[in-house]
Amino acid sequence: MSGRLTVIGLGPGDARYLTREAEDALASAEAVYGYTAYLDRVPARAGQTRHGSDNREEPKRAAAALRHAADGAQVAVVSGGDPGVFAMAAAVCEVIEGGPPAFRAVELAVVPGITAMLAVAAKAGAPLGHDFCAISLSDNLKPWHVIERRLHAAAGAGFVIALYNPASRARPQKLGDAFAVLRETLPGDVAVIFGRAVGRADESLTVTTLDQAGCVTADMATLVIVGSPATRVILRADGTPLVYTPRSLEAVTA
Choose between 82 and 125: whose C-beta lies nearer to ligand SAH.
Answer: 82
State the Rg of the chain over Cα.
20
Single-letter amino acid code for the residue at 156: G
Q: How many angstroms separate the CA atoms of 6 and 168, rounded?
A: 29
* Smaller CB separation from ligand SAH, 7 or 230: 7
Alpha helix stretches (DSSP H) within the chain: 20-27, 36-39, 58-70, 88-98, 101-105, 116-124, 144-156, 174-183, 249-253
- Is 213 one of the binding residues for ligand SAH (CB under 6 A)? no
Q: Is 58 in the site for ligand SAH (CB under 6 A)?
A: no
What is the per-residue binding string for ligand SAH in 182-211, x denoting contact by CB under 6 A? -------------xxxxxx-----------
115 binds ligand SAH (CB under 6 A): yes
- What span, in angstroms and rounded, lies between the C-alpha atoms of 157 and 151? 10
Euclidean distance between CA atoms 203 and 192, whole angstroms:
17
Of the listed pieces 68-76, 91-99, 100-108, 216-224, which binds ligand SAH according to CB under 6 A? 216-224
Identify residue 67 by its one-letter amino acid code.
R
Kindly tell me which residue out of 221, 226, 233, 243 binds ligand SAH, with binding defined by CB under 6 A: 221
Q: Which helix (H) or strand (E) holds 136?
A: strand 132-136
Q: In what order do the strands lie in the sheet with 160-164?
A: 132-136, 160-164, 222-226, 191-196, 204-209
Question: Pattern of binders to ligand SAH over 140-169, x per CB under 6 A?
Answer: ------------------------xxx---
- Please report whether residue 34 would count as binding ligand SAH according to CB under 6 A: no
Give yes or no for residue 87 binding ligand SAH (CB under 6 A): yes
Query: CA 225 to CA 243: how far, in whole Å?
Result: 11
From the list 64, 182, 223, 230, which residue makes contact with ligand SAH (rule: CB under 6 A)?
Answer: 223
Closer of 124 and 190 to ligand SAH (Cβ):
124
- When asked if residue 18 is in the footprint of ligand SAH (CB under 6 A), the reply is no
Closest approach, Cβ 252 to ligand SAH, in A, equals 27
* Interaction site with ligand SAH (CB under 6 A): 12-13, 79-82, 85-87, 115-116, 120, 164-166, 195-200, 220-223
